[in-house]
């Protein structure tokens, strides 16, 4: 590795070392008010600077809290992206596109709620690079207005293709289309920009992440929705996958959540799912992803893989903290909240 690659690897490891520990989670789970939680985060964690920006914490919404912490995460990832640009690679664009897609999905999820937070509030690195206007998206109140807000971006045609079939215009279908765009585009970039073992290790990361999204989408489709085969044809079947064609066929043809898990347990992901204990599928996939990323961060010498894995660990932390906020809101016990979060340990 050259000096720039070593710098990126060291930076990823340094950020990972600042992750929340088991003792942090134990202390946070004992907090009974948002004020107590914020005080702990400010006094004991790397989120101190961001917590200082929060006022009126007892009336703070989950959306507002999540936005502030998410921007803290984006700032850290941006610092890694700058190193990656110095190396001369282009994978930093993955984070830009991913953030754009997550902003679109967030806007779509809140079209009729009027509870959208300040989507224009992103770190300068992202604002400079992205084509999506968070401010315009925040005013959208329908899929048609969402499409209009995306004029001039590559996402407009994706949204238009979804809303063209009004019977299937759902958030799930939109998410599937956007994620397929993200991972297909990124895999193409990786295949063109990297070689040999480095390329395969990077692709393995994206196969894993994309496959977990596919498992979740198919499981929810079979367990929670009563749509016909026409809808099922739009389910997220990733082209960027570690599943064999036969395994993907079995997954696509599964008619229940149990059949999904049976197919997964016959694949290369068996070790992650054979002991689910009846946990919700989102918790199972998150645990699998966090376990994979923690292991890579400890043992991989591939700076790009470590950058990607750190970003995933950071995202998981944000989810954990917001779950704790929700647990406090609904007066859940520490044990009940603990069953929701996924700690970032190997």
Return the pLDDT at 54: 64
The alpha carbons of the chain give a radius of gyration, in whole angstroms, of 20
Q: Are 117 and 63 a contacting pair, CB within 8 Å? A: yes
Q: Note down the domain range covering 253.
A: 3-53+62-338
Return the pLDDT at 344: 65
Find tokens 């009027």 and name the residue: 114
Residue 343 lies in a domain: no
| C-alpha 275 chain-centroid distance | 23
Return the pLDDT at 240: 92
Return the pLDDT at 343: 85
pLDDT in tens, 218-266: 888 776 654 444 455 556 778 899 999 999 989 888 888 888 889 999 9
Nearest to 190 by CA among 199, 180, 181, 182: 199
**Distance of CA 109 to CAs 103, 106, 113, 170, 191, Å?**
10, 5, 8, 10, 33
Residue 326 lies in a domain: yes
Residue 346 lies in a domain: no
Give helix then strand counts, H and E, for the chain.
19, 0
Q: How far apart are CA 167 and CA 36, in angstroms?
A: 46
What total number of domains does the chain contain?
1
Q: Are 30 and 334 a contacting pair, CB within 8 Å? A: yes
Q: At what angle do helices 196-224 and 245-253 cross, to 10 degrees?
A: 20
Query: What tokens were used for 65?
Result: 């809290």
Residue 344 lies in a domain: no
**Residue 47 backbone phi and psi in degrees, to 5:** -90, 5
Residue 218 has, within 13 A of its CA and on its CB side, a CA count of 28
Q: At a CB cut-off of 8 Å and minimum separation 6, what does 23 contact?
A: none
Return the pLDDT at 346: 42
Residue 315 lies in a domain: yes
Residue 345 lies in a domain: no
Return the pLDDT at 132: 93
Q: Which residues of the chain have pLDDT under 50?
A: 57, 226-230, 346
Return the pLDDT at 230: 46
- The conformation of residue 67, written as its DSSP 8-state character, comes to H
């Amino acid at each position: 590795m050259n000096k720039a690659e070593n710098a990126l690897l060291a930076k990823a490891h340094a950020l990972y070392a600042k992750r929340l520990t088991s003792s942090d989670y134990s202390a946070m789970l004992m907090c009974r008010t948002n004020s107590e939680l914020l005080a702990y985060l400010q006094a004991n964690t790397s989120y101190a600077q961001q917590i200082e920006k929060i006022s009126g914490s007892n009336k703070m919404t989950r959306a507002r809290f999540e936005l502030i912490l998410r921007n803290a995460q984006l700032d850290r990832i941006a610092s890694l992206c700058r190193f990656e640009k110095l190396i001369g690679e282009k994978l930093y664009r993955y984070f830009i596109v991913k953030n754009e897609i997550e902003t679109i999905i967030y806007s779509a999820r809140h079209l009729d709620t009027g509870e959208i937070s300040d989507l224009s509030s992103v770190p300068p690195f992202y604002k400079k690079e992205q084509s999506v206007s968070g401010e315009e998206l925040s005013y959208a109140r329908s899929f048609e207005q969402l499409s209009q807000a995306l004029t001039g971006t590559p996402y407009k045609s994706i949204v238009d293709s979804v809303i063209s079939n009004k019977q299937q215009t759902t958030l799930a279908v939109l998410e599937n289309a956007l994620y397929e765009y993200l991972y297909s585009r990124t895999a193409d970039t990786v295949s063109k920009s990297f070689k040999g073992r480095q390329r395969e290790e990077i692709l393995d990361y994206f196969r894993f992440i994309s496959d977990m999204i596919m498992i979740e989408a198919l499981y929810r489709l079979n367990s929670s929705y009563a749509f016909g085969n026409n809808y099922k044809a739009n389910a997220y079947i990733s082209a960027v996958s570690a599943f064999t064609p036969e395994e993907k066929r079995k997954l696509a043809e599964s008619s229940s959540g149990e059949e999904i898990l049976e197919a997964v347990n016959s694949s290369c992901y068996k070790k992650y799912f054979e002991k689910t204990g009846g946990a919700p599928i989102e918790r199972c996939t998150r645990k699998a992803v966090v376990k994979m990323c923690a292991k890579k961060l400890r043992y991989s010498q591939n700076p790009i893989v470590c950058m990607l894995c750190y970003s995933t660990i950071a995202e998981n932390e944000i989810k954990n903290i917001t779950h704790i906020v929700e647990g406090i809101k609904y007066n859940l016990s520490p044990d009940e909240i603990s069953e929701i979060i996924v700690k970032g340990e190997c």
